[in-house]
Amino acid sequence: MYRSNFTPGTTRWAVRRSQWRSMGILEEDMEKPKIAVINTSNKLSCCYVHLDELSRLAQNSIWAAGGLPFEVGTVAPSDFVTSAGKKARYLMPTRDLVVNEIECMVEGAVLDGMICLSSCDKTTPGHLMAAARLNIPTILLVCGYQIGGACRNEKFEDQFFDIDDVYESIGALATGRLTLKDLTDMTEAAVRTPGVCAGLGTANSMHIVAEALGMTLPGNSPIWANGSRVKEYARRAGDRIVKLTRDNVLPRSIIDQKAIENAVMTVLAVGGSVNTVRHLSAIATEAELPLDVVKLYEKFGGDIRLLTSVRPNGPARTEDLEEAGGTPAVMSRLREFLHLDALTVTQKTLGENLAEAKVHDPKVIRALDNPVSVKPGVGILRGNLAPDGAIVKLSAVPDEKPGFRGPANIFEGEDEAIEALRKGGIKPGDVVVLRNMGPLGGPGTVFACSFVAALNGAGIAGEVAVVTDGELSGLNRGIIVGQLMPEAAEGGPLAVVRQGDTIRLDFEKRAIDMEVPEGEIKARLDAWKPAELPLGGGPSTYLSQYAQLVQPISRGAVLGKRGIHRKK
């Protein structure tokens, strides 16, 4: 019945049986469906420290439902911890490392299904990509967000802070608006529980995406990591994965074009992270779906309105969104647009799942005829600077800024840009260009988001624009355009922008251009030559291997066979 049940008497059957019997697995358990519990627990980051308990709850539930659980550990990157080395170059590559580790462990052992404990930014898309690639019964367990607390500091007078406040305050420290003691006191208050970053950053956005795709139980996102609800979801997910495995419900019957479109529309409605575009592109690629996800964001951006205003887009907090009804409540507002016949891991349709969805606070989750904004949360810009598209979080752009025009101020890394900010080298009206920081150029997308956060801390984010092919955070806010495609290292136009060139952004017309004659742009591109990639550590390092395999970011920057694809 199950692929894991090898023929008695064969080598594979005999050697595996010897090992498993030595581990205390009973004879009667040998024929049960064998379920991988993908646990990304580690002690490097608060994003993961609570996962061992959730894994135990899920395993116990799998046992009770008649399955045989096997806990499998994988790499577990944290955007605020694993970013320390090599200017964050390891972050994007670890997403694909998660996928490959799952393939090696689950396919190598020929297990029957898996439940993935999804937490920080890269694990959720990695789990969804692995589900689409392996195409064995899978369910994701969203493991929740953290909350901050009040800061015991005379200046702040018990003001509430979270990790986003700390992140942005680096700029305030650099420009003298805060002292080191102030910042230190904030760090004491900002994280009070396990879980991913508070706010609608990439982690919580991808949690919502997982549910919108139909790959989690309804209501699993967003969810507080330290509460009783997430533990109940762990139990329920363990029970459900055994049912999915018995009925052979495969991810590719769930992650199809309808599901991807539902996820895109949900991201637009909540104002999710700009990084959802690359991750959904990667999921579609792994599922072998012939979809241009960037164009889907453009297609639905004309109809979907912003229905929530969760930090960094507005004053509401992630816990407010949860209490208001979470992802099911948001999707219930979008019924007229969604594919309600899409299948989910409940083995019911999305429409059936939403039948009981309720909006508990209409001020937090608005109706379509009373949106927070008539603009979608995420927009795609195109023009001579980004012919294949660029992404802007419209929900985080000040309403009074329908566009921006200014001279290019170019940096090849955010450390240099932050130092320039500290020394007054970045002025109101500048368009700061951070380039050669994409998946290929990094290699392994380099942080641009700390500079963006520093602009907010310095109090000039509304007066400076940023365009980049580097890594942005879903927590970033301001006049920020990211994921310019093609990236500079591929020979995209961003590579030939010169200091002082005028760049124009038009958020209403969704345009991004440099005011340089087309003939001049072509001449610059014809003369452009790729720089040596700053790999470091020799040709056998993972970053070196990644640079040789990473695909264009428009395809999700997945790993493949094309090799270095930049212009020669």
User: Annotated active-site positions, please?
Assistant: 473
Q: Which residues contact 470 (CB under 8 A, 6 or more apart)?
A: 414, 434, 435, 437, 438, 442, 445, 446, 447, 448, 449, 482
Amino acid at 528: W
The beta-carbon contacts of 415-422 under 8 Å, at least 24 apart in sequence, are: 415/87, 417/451, 418/170, 418/171, 418/174, 418/450, 418/451, 418/454, 421/171, 421/174, 421/175, 421/451, 421/454, 421/455, 421/458, 422/174, 422/175
CA distance 566 to 469: 14
Secondary-structure percent of the chain, ordered helix, strand, coil, rounded to 5: 40, 15, 45
CA distance 145 to 236: 19
SS3 assignment, position 68 = strand
Bridge partner list, 149: 161
- C-beta neighbour count of 130 within 10 angstroms: 28
Query: Tokens 């969604």 — which residue?
Result: 338
* Closest CA relative to residue 362, chosen from 408, 325, 417: 325
Contact 438, 487 (CB under 8 A): yes
Q: DSSP per residue over 273-296, as a string?
A: -TTHHHHHHHHHHHTT----HHHH
Amino acid at 189: A
How many residues comprise the chain? 568
Q: Terminal CA-to-CA distance of the chain, rounded, Å? A: 52
Tell me the two tokens of residue 406. 């200014």
Amino acid at 540: S
CA angle (557, 206, 439) in 5-degree steps: 20
Q: What is the DSSP letter of 204?
A: H
Tell me the two tokens of residue 516. 């340089």
Phi–psi pair at 306, nearest 5 degrees: -80, 120
